[in-house]
């Protein structure tokens, strides 16, 4: 069960403080959805618009629905997010992921959703040649990015974790999950939000929603267009810029726009940025000259897994992977703010905010 908190914020059972809320709200503001037209109009039945904000998956989430005033649809989405978090969270005691990580090598029965997600994660492990690997969890635990403000772990502890990392240690047979190594563990942080966004969109479309978006902490999944057949105009944040500073924008109609960036969960120590996208081979943050990777795709789980995968693969190999896939486009932004687009990416040629893009 959830309770509305101040200003319509809903919270899940995971750790939450007011300062984190304000930080998160600031972050949400940076996800600039430019509501051209429509926003100022007085609502009528057909032009009704409802939205709400909550806190799940350790991030701020936002839902907007156009053409309906059914608040119960939004309430149901928040309830579903709570249910997904309860099975997919690594830190929530009793979740499927928690059970897998406590299994000490024994097989564990998981829900259909967890099994589906692990199967997809394994697919992306293969597709990315090991760059996307949910068994990075031992490193994730050591680095503890959401809470770490500047503590670089000892080399020896990273090295000790390394032998327990590798998705070849993870097996899925129907709904049964086995980790060969009792000290291995999994973390679905690089893929779960995309999966949940897809399920929420399915639910909403099934209820007749034709326009809106699901924003799970920057994983943006649009439904149709804005009223009047106007595409959504999604801002892509300037890495390390002010919260509202967009480097460019992209117009989409029903697509997912997901970004993985170094600036999202990081700290700086002695001039080095330590961030949350980890190289499975080393256990250290990926330092390859990239600041962010944005993926456009139909399904948000693909976008989520690919944004992390491509970040780890780097500009050349990541771009090669994107170009080999149908229906997927990417924007890679380097540390010096160069913008590299895949061939079919709908570039924003009007934007004065992207002087370095051509």
Number of Cβ within a 10 Å radius of residue 81: 26
> Closest separation between CB of residue 39 and ligand ADP, Å?
27
Cβ-based nearer residue to ligand ADP, 73 or 196: 196
Q: Which does 185 bind (CB under 5 to 8 A by kind): Mg ion, ligand ADP, none?
A: none
Q: Which of 308, 342, 354, 357 binds Mg ion (CB under 5 A)?
A: 308
- Report d(CA 326, CA 339) in Å as an integer: 21
**Residue 280 interaction partner, one of ligand ADP, Mg ion, none, beta carbon < 5-8 Å per kind:** ligand ADP
Q: How far apart are CA 161 and CA 343, in angstroms?
A: 39
- Among ligand ADP, Mg ion, none, what binds residue 354 when CB lies within 5 to 8 Å by partner kind? none
Single out the segment in contact with Mg ion by CB under 5 A; choices: 71-79, 200-208, 209-217, 306-314: 306-314
Using CB distances below 5 to 8 A depending on partner kind, what does residue 200 bind out of ligand ADP, Mg ion, none?
Answer: none
What x/- string results for residues 250 through 289 when contact with Mg ion is judged by CB under 5 A? ----------------------------------------
How near is the Cβ of 221 to ligand ADP at its closest, in Å?
13
* Termini Cα distance of the chain: 50
Nearest to Mg ion of 74, 84 (CB atom): 84
Residue of 190, 212, 218, 224 that binds Mg ion (CB under 5 A): 190
In the complex with Mg ion, the residue whose CB is nearer, 299 or 354, is 299
Residues that bind ligand ADP (CB under 6 A): 132-134, 136, 140, 187, 189-190, 193, 260, 264, 276-278, 280, 304, 307-308, 312
Q: Which residue sits closest to ligand ADP, CB atoms considered?
A: 189
Closest CA to 63 of 228, 254, 204, 207: 204
Residue 274's DSSP bridge partners are 267
Q: How many residues bind Mg ion (CB under 5 A)?
A: 4
Spatial distance between the Cα atoms of 212 and 68, rounded to a whole number of angstroms: 10
Which range in 174-182, 183-191, 220-228, 283-291 contacts Mg ion by CB under 5 A? 183-191
Q: Which residue lies nearer to ligand ADP by CB, 111 or 282?
A: 282
For residue 104, the tally of other CB atoms under 10 A from its CB is 9
Alpha carbon 124 to its chain centroid, in Å, reads 15
φ and ψ at residue 176, rounded to 5 degrees: -100, 125
Could you tell me the smallest distance in angstroms from the CB atom of residue 357 to ligand ADP? Answer: 22
Backbone angles phi, psi at 192, to 5 degrees: -65, -40
39-43 contact pairs (CB < 8 A, 24+): 43/69
**Nearest-angstrom CA–CA distance, 143 and 137:** 10
Contact yes or no for 301/191 (Cβ under 8 A)? yes
User: DSSP character for 226?
Assistant: B
Count of beta carbons in the 10 Å neighbourhood of residue 26? 13
Residue 53 touches which of ligand ADP, Mg ion, none (CB < 5 to 8 A by kind)? Answer: none
The one of Mg ion, ligand ADP, none whose footprint includes residue 264, by CB under 5 to 8 A per kind, is: ligand ADP
Residue 168: CA atoms inside 13 Å, Cβ hemisphere, count? 5
Return residues touching Mg ion (CB under 5 A).
Answer: 190, 304, 307-308
């Amino acid at each position: 069960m959830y309770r509305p908190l101040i200003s319509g914020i809903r919270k899940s059972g995971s750790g939450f403080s007011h300062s984190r809320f304000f930080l998160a709200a600031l972050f949400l503001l940076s996800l600039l959805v430019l509501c051209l037209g429509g926003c100022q109009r007085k609502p009528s039945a057909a032009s009704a618009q409802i939205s709400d904000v909550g806190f799940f998956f350790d991030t701020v989430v936002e839902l907007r629905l156009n053409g309906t005033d059914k608040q119960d649809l939004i309430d149901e989405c928040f309830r579903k997010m709570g249910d997904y978090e309860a099975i997919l969270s690594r830190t929530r005691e009793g979740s499927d992921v928690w059970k897998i990580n406590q299994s000490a090598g024994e097989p564990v029965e998981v829900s259909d959703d967890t099994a589906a997600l692990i199967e997809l994660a394994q697919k992306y492990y293969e597709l990315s040649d090991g760059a996307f690997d949910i068994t990075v969890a031992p490193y994730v635990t050591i680095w503890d990015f959401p809470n770490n403000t500047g503590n670089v772990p000892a080399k020896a502890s990273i090295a000790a974790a390394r032998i327990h990392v590798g998705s070849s240690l993870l097996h899925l047979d129907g709904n049964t999950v086995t980790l060969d190594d009792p000290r291995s563990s999994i973390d679905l942080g690089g893929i779960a939000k995309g999966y949940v966004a897809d399920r929420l969109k399915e639910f909403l479309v099934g209820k007749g929603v034709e326009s809106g978006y699901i924003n799970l902490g920057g994983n943006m999944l649009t439904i149709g267009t804005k009223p009047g057949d106007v595409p959504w105009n999604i801002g892509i944040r300037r890495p390390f810029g002010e919260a509202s500073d967009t480097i460019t924008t992209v117009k989409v109609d029903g697509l997912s726009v997901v970004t993985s960036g170094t600036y999202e969960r990081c700290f700086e120590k002695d001039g080095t940025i330590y961030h949350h996208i980890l190289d499975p081979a080393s256990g250290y943050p990926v330092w390859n000259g990239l600041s962010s990777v944005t993926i456009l795709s139909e399904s948000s789980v693909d976008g989520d897994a690919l944004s992390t995968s491509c970040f780890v693969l780097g500009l050349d190999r990541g771009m090669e992977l994107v170009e080999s896939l149908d229906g997927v486009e990417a924007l890679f932004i380097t540390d010096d703010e160069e913008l590299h687009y895949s061939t079919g990416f709908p570039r924003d040629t009007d934007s004065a905010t992207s002087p370095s893009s051509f």
